[in-house]
Structure 1
Amino acid sequence: MYKVFVNDKPLFLTNEVAKETDFQLFLLESVDIEQLIVKMFNNKIKKAYLYYPDEKEILKKVKEKIPVKRAGGGLVYNNKGEVLFIFRNGKWDLPKGGCEKNEEIEDSAIREVEEETGVDQLKITKKLQKTYHVFKRNGKYRLKITHWYEMKTNFTGTPIPQENEGIEKVAWLNPEQIKEAMKNSYENIKLLFEEENVYNEQ
């Protein structure tokens, strides 16, 4: 099962029909995906399931219906075990950004972290899960698939927010501060921290 966030609300891509009733179920083959997305953006639908019998093909089918944008991002630790965050659009987020033409996704992730935060000396230590969310650009909806990487850095300078990208501040947060930041972050970022189990370290 895949979890795609539309305006921070979950759209599950599934090959199982569950018996729960707190959501709407749509058939991927026949759904007007744009209409469904619009309803989720307008808070008419809080949670939905898109059903398709073949789980291996389900993401491919969605990609046929909505253009995909690939992005790379980093969950970056410094030597103190703090994590690098950016603050943009009133929420805490992790640095990430779109892939340039012919660029390897790992290179995109490192480049975007450097550009958005001014932090360098980055080294990828492991691949994390991908996250999926729908955004609107120039009146069109797109599915952003972000490839996340855990990174380490020996950087000790002052991070610099990339203001022309709307980033207001960059901060290193410890596990206690991360807990607080998660109250004002995005659902796909929370997923990463659940996977990483950052809170329970230290």
Structure 2
Amino acid sequence: MNFQLLIDLFENNKTLKQLFVFNNNLEEMFAEFKTGFQFIEAAGGLVFNKKGEILFIKRRGKWDLPKGKVEPKEECHNAALRETTEECGITNMEITSILCSTYHTYYIEEQKVLKKTFWYKMEYSDHEELKPQQEEDITFAKWFNKSELKTITDNTYPSIIDVLKDANLIS
């Protein structure tokens, strides 16, 4: 199967919203699919404070969760903690559970990238001031009540919606 042709067709036809591909060997098909991309693993956190508020960042005009690339020989859960500290300026988080993994695609210049992100639920028990990492294009970091999640879901990425659903925060 020529995945590159399918990907190009999908990207260049704005009326197509979904593309379904079937194969009896999912692992083989996914391995072939990945050959058209630079593959990056990342990790991030859905962070709750003592009040039950959830930490979000605003990056490039959209609400997002803190996340970033897993460094060579780094364990994913450690990367999630490190990236949250780097992007938001807070420490003393504890991972309380493993959430879903998500995939999304984007471009770095002309290179197609497929990113797999491992998500973790975290608790934060301190009171540090949030410090958005501006060199990563993060302009804002804020704690949101669960009742305010519509603000997030109206201006975020589909993969973040998946994380919120996996954590049973939205349906």
TM-score by length of 2: 0.91
Deviation (angstroms), 1:59: 2.5
Q: Does 1:48 align with 2:19?
A: yes
Aligned-partner SS, 1:180: helix
Q: Does 1:30 align with 2:6?
A: no
Query: Who is 2:47 aligned against?
Result: 76
Deviation (angstroms), 1:88: 1.1
Aligned-partner SS, 1:65: coil
Deviations 1:56-114 (A, max 9, x none): 43322322332210000000011111111001111110000111122111111111000
Q: Does 1:97 align with 2:68?
A: yes
Query: Who is 1:169 aligned against?
Result: 140
Deviations 1:146-195 (A, max 9, x none): 00000111121211000111101000001011122111111110111111
Query: Who is 1:57 aligned against?
Result: 28
Percent identity, aligned pairs only, is 34
Calculate the aligned-residue CA RMSD, in Å: 1.7
Query: Who is 1:113 aligned against?
Result: 84
How far, CA to CA, are the matches of 2:94 and 2:17 in structure 1? Answer: 38
Higher relative contact order (CA 8 A, sep 6+): 2
- Aligned residues between the structures: 170
How far, CA to CA, are the matches of 1:153 and 1:58 in structure 2? Answer: 40
Aligned-partner SS, 2:35: helix
- Contact 2:36/2:112, CA 8 A, preserved across alignment: no
AA aligned to 1:32 is Q
- Contact 1:117/1:170, CA 8 A, preserved across alignment: yes
How far, CA to CA, are the matches of 1:149 and 1:133 in structure 2? Answer: 17
Deviation (angstroms), 1:37: 5.4
Aligned-partner SS, 1:160: coil
How far, CA to CA, are the matches of 2:124 and 2:85 in structure 1? Answer: 11
How far, CA to CA, are the matches of 1:180 and 1:126 in structure 2? Answer: 25
Q: Which ranges of 4 or more aligned residues in structure 1 deviate by more than 6 Å?
A: none
Q: Does 1:182 align with 2:153?
A: yes
Query: Who is 2:106 aligned against?
Result: 135
- Contact 1:72/1:148, CA 8 A, preserved across alignment: yes
Deviations 1:112-165 (A, max 9, x none): 000000111011111111000001013100100000000111121211000111
How far, CA to CA, are the matches of 2:170 and 2:162 in structure 1? Answer: 13
Deviation (angstroms), 1:49: 1.4
Aligned-partner SS, 1:113: helix
TM-score by length of 1: 0.78
- Contact 2:100/2:118, CA 8 A, preserved across alignment: yes
